[in-house]
Structure 1
């Protein structure tokens, strides 16, 4: 199953995103574990995160019964704005794009200084746990 909407928009507590192009592929559905695996590609997007809302979740989100696992993420030409108020996380604005080795290159500034990282999205131990590993890059 593939969806390639032009002008895709997503809004949920703590997250709003708009992309000129998005490609979502369902790569697996496991009714036994109620898990859906997706590959996602996004081009020319803006993502706004309010971390206090996003990480708090709510009962409706937590008890939806299905888990969505990202099997692959391909992001190009994307801006990410982070509001960390209330969590002791500095606000920041970042660009995100794919590196040649498949990592997600995050470059930008927080209210406390520059942040550059290569992010690898992958699974560790359980098939439904998504782990972000940050490798700090030297500032130039």
Structure 2
């Protein structure tokens, strides 16, 4: 078989059978924060378009490291943007003085520790890593497999 025909065939087969590893995402808040959140509200908070939870309590988003799979999944599923689009969005917001990106944390443990100390913080982690220091405000289920 012609090598020029094999490569497209291999790419097509790998695209059909490749299933990315995607974990359930838990959006977490302080246990005393009883807010009910929608996917739309969560996206608005993490894009700096909404500064409070429902009511008067300030909402301060905490981001995972940009190089993690959970960041990529959150960007694509919740923010509905590729991670590079999110990066470009925040570069534009900074340049125009319209906002600053969420503070990035170095680990899941740091994220849970910060949220457990401040009711205004909101973050996201793999749902399997939730413990009693935080409360799940919303869960994004993995997409169905074919």
Q: TM-score, normalised by structure 2?
A: 0.24
**Bigger proportion of residues as strand:** 1
- Greater relative contact order: 1 or 2 (C-alpha under 8 angstroms, separation 6 or more)? 2
